[in-house]
Chains A and B, each alone.
Chain A
């Protein structure tokens, strides 16, 4: 039985998928480090979580095992919690200081 997609996923699709995962993860890290806005940092974390999800689902398909998919569903829930709490904190900070640029938050500087 010829199954080109299965052959691709087991064979040369692996390096493509893991390359996409690594590139997306490093773009997320760079967004978190270099962009100086709180919402940008939050979106960088979201991109990192998405990259990890892709690798989980790829290996779940590779090993024909559903554990990776369940774990990625748990990551969805954690990401939703993180965004809800993070945005509440950002709104409070904005109401207090009038900006969401992180370099202006110097009150905690020792």
Chain B
């Protein structure tokens, strides 16, 4: 078996295990560590799927910035133990099996679609795996596409970022009666 394919399976299993740790771990810090492991494994999967720049962004932005922010605030807030003593809602025994059934149903439908007549064959004739340029997803091609074809979306999303900064500052500055904090 090819080493990349083996690592792809390993990363997928690690991602799912990290998600399960997030769901089941009692302490929030352990859950955050599970989410972090899941994100790093997903970065590995992106790299194997030739999305090299997205893999780097995943490590820098998600694992480096967002998760550090979440863990920082978990430690800052000093959450009392009664918040997670009864950590699951009451509806877990009714909604949990329903959610599980829904997930199994989706995967089963997907399996039947993928096993259906000619789906995989159509895919593999439409996309030849040999036509696989070395620089697909590299930073040069990626940034050229981002700054020419998607320039408007790029600028628009920077406006969204600016609006979020303004929103955060105004949320933090005002107190509950709408007066300015100092």
Contact = CB atoms under 8 A, between A and B. Distances in A.
A and B form one complex:
yes
Contacts of A92: 171-172
Contacts of B58: 53, 76
B42 A35 contact: no
Nearest to B153: A74
A50 B38 contact: yes
Nearest to A3: B129
Which applies to chain A's interface (DSSP): helix, strand, loop or mixed? helix
Contacts of A22: 103, 106-107, 110
B134 to A, nearest CB: 12
Contacts of B88: 34-36
Contacts of B130: 1, 3, 6
Interface string A71-109: 011101111110111011111101010111101000000
Given A13-B5, A85-B171, A27 B176 contact: no
Which applies to chain B's interface (DSSP): helix, strand, loop or mixed? helix
A60 B129 CA distance: 13
Given A14-B114, A50-B62, A70-B150, A85 B127 contact: no
- Size class of the contact patch on chain A: 35 or more
Contacts of B164: 80-81, 84-85
Interface of B: 2, 4-5, 8-9, 12, 15-16, 19-20, 22-23, 28, 31-32, 35, 38-39, 42, 45-46, 48-51, 53-54, 57-58, 61-62, 65-66, 69-70, 73-74, 77, 79-80, 82-84, 86-89, 91-92, 95-96, 99-100, 102-103, 106-107, 110-111, 114, 120, 123-124, 127, 129-133, 136-137, 141-142, 145-146, 150, 153, 157, 160-161, 163-165, 167-168, 171-172, 176
